[in-house]
Amino acid sequence: MSQAGFTLASLSLLGAAQLLGGPPWAALCAIALVALVFTDRRTSSLALIASSMTWVVLSRLTANRQLFFPFTMSLASIVFVQLCDRNFWRGVFGGVAVLAAFFVVRTQQHASARVLFIEFIIATSILGFAMIAYSLSPRHVVSRIVITIVVSLLAFFSLLI
């Protein structure tokens, strides 16, 4: 994909996140896109981020703002697995950057310390799972897709806690 096409697709995803989810969703999407634009301009990166928009659509259809967490974890895992192909620590930093932005948003939403602590434990555990899964899996697109889907589903099911 050309640089112009990649940029246009990225801006479209960012616009969709803003339109459907609002500023917090767009902010996290922007962080993930910036991390990928400067390091990993593969079509698979955009396809994975587009798949994470499923959570934005579901949140809009069900009016369930809790789906912000699976969206966040999906983006964090996408950034992690995509950047790890180049450098493991770059992937870790990218995934943690998405999580840090999530916690800034949650703090701005006045989440209690107890809720933030629980979300922190769950988020770091799930990202840790992604790191282990990545290190044990073959390096190809299917592995990245499976890891991202599993992380996203783990985040969704953690909402039941």
| Residue 40 clears pLDDT 70, i.e. is over it | no
**What is the pLDDT, as a whole number, of residue 14?**
94
**10 Å Cβ neighbour count for 110?**
7
Averaged pLDDT for residues 16-33: 94
How does residue 21 score in pLDDT terms, banded at 50, 70 and 90? very high
**What is the pLDDT, as a whole number, of residue 143?**
92
Contact 25, 75 (CB under 8 A): no
How does residue 2 score in pLDDT terms, banded at 50, 70 and 90? confident
**What is the pLDDT, as a whole number, of residue 99?**
97
Contact 73, 152 (CB under 8 A): yes
Sequence ranges of the domains in the chain: 3-158
Secondary structure of the chain as H, E, C letters = CCHHHHHHHHHHHHHHHHHHHCHHHHHHHHHHHHHHHCCCCCHHHHHHHHHHHHHHHHHHHHCCHHHHHHHHHHHHHHHHHHHHCCCHHHHHHHHHHHHHHHHHHHHHCCCCHHHHHHHHHHHHHHHHHHHHHHHHCCCCHHHHHHHHHHHHHHHHHHCCC
**What is the pLDDT, as a whole number, of residue 39?**
73
Prediction pTM value: 0.92
Structure tokens at 141: 């697109």
Question: What span, in angstroms and rounded, lies between the C-alpha atoms of 17 and 74?
Answer: 14
